Amino acid sequence: MSGEIPKFLEAFHFLEILNLSYNNFEGMLPTEGVFKNASATFIAGNNKICGGIPEFRLPKCISRSSKGKGEARKLKLLLSIIFGLLGAVLVLVFVYVCWLKKKKAQEPTSSFIADSWQNLSYRTLLGATDGFSSTNLIGVGSFGSVYRGMLQENGTNVAVKVLNLTRHGALKSFKAECEALKRIKHRNLLKVLSVCSGTDYNGNDFKALVYEFMVNGSLEEWLHSSPIPADADEPSKNLSLIQRIKISIDIAFALDYLHNQCHSTIVHCDLKPSNVLLDAEMVGHVGDFGLAKIVLESTSYMNTNISSIGLRGTVGYAAPGMAPYIPNPLK
- Catalytic residues, by residue number, are 270
Q: How many CB atoms lie within 10 A of CB 10?
A: 16
Give the three-state DSSP class for 79. helix
| Residues 2, 81: Cα–Cα separation, whole Å | 42
Burial call 131-161: b when 16+ CB within 10 Å, e when fewer? ebeeebebbebebbbbbbbbbeeeebebbbb
Alpha helices (H) in the chain, listed in sequence order: 64-106, 122-128, 170-181, 219-223, 241-256
Pairing between strand 48-51 and 137-140? unpaired
Cβ atoms 324, 318 nearer than 8 A: no
| Residues 194, 278: Cα–Cα separation, whole Å | 20
Task: Return all residues near 290 (Cβ < 8 A) that are at least 6 apart.
Answer: 141, 142, 143, 173, 174, 176, 177, 270
CA dist 293 → 266, 272, 273 (Å): 6, 16, 19
DSSP 153-184: TT--EEEEEEE-TTSTTHHHHHHHHHHHHTT-
Strand partners, 3: 25
| Residues 143, 141: Cα–Cα separation, whole Å | 6
